[in-house]
Amino acid sequence: MGRGAATLLAAVAAAVTLPLLALGLSLPWWLALALALAVFGGVWLVLKPSGDPGPGLTDEAVLDARSATAQGLLLEATTAMDRLRKVRREIQDPPMRAEIAHLLEVGDKVVREVREDPSRAMAVRRLLTFYLPNAASVADGWRTLEARSVPSTARMTQTREVMGGLSQAFAKYADDVAEPELQTLDLDLKVLKDALKADLSNTP
Higher pLDDT, 121 or 22: 121
203 phi and psi, to 5 degrees? -75, 130
Torsion angle of C-alpha atoms 147, 150, 155, 157, degrees rounded to 10? 100
Interatomic CA distance for residues 137 and 20, integer angstroms? 23
The residue-averaged pLDDT of 29-42 equals 65
Alpha-carbon torsion angle 186, 192, 197, 202, nearest 10 = 160
* pLDDT tens digits for range 92-126: 999 999 999 999 999 999 999 888 888 788 778 88
What pLDDT is attached to residue 70?
78
Residue 199 has pLDDT above 90, yes or no: no
In sequence order, what are the residues at sequence separation of 6 or more whose Cβ sits closer than 8 angstroms to the Cβ of residue 9?
A: 43, 47
State the angle between helix axes of 132-147 and 94-116 in degrees (0 to 180), rounded to the nearest 10.
160
Report the pLDDT value the prediction gives residue 26, as an integer from 0 to 100: 64
Domains of the chain by residue range: 93-201
In which region does residue 141 sit, left (phi positive, over 0), alpha (psi from -120 to 50) or beta (all else)?
Answer: alpha
Q: CA–CA separation, 162 vs 32, rounded Å?
A: 29
Is it the case that residue 18 has pLDDT exceeding 90? Answer: no
> What per-residue confidence (pLDDT) applies to 55?
45
Q: What is the mean pLDDT of residues 71-88?
A: 90
CB atoms under 10 Å from CB of 4, counted, come to 10
Does residue 1 surpass a pLDDT of 50? no
pLDDT digits (tens, 9 = 90+) for 143-180: 999 999 898 999 999 999 999 998 888 888 888 776 65
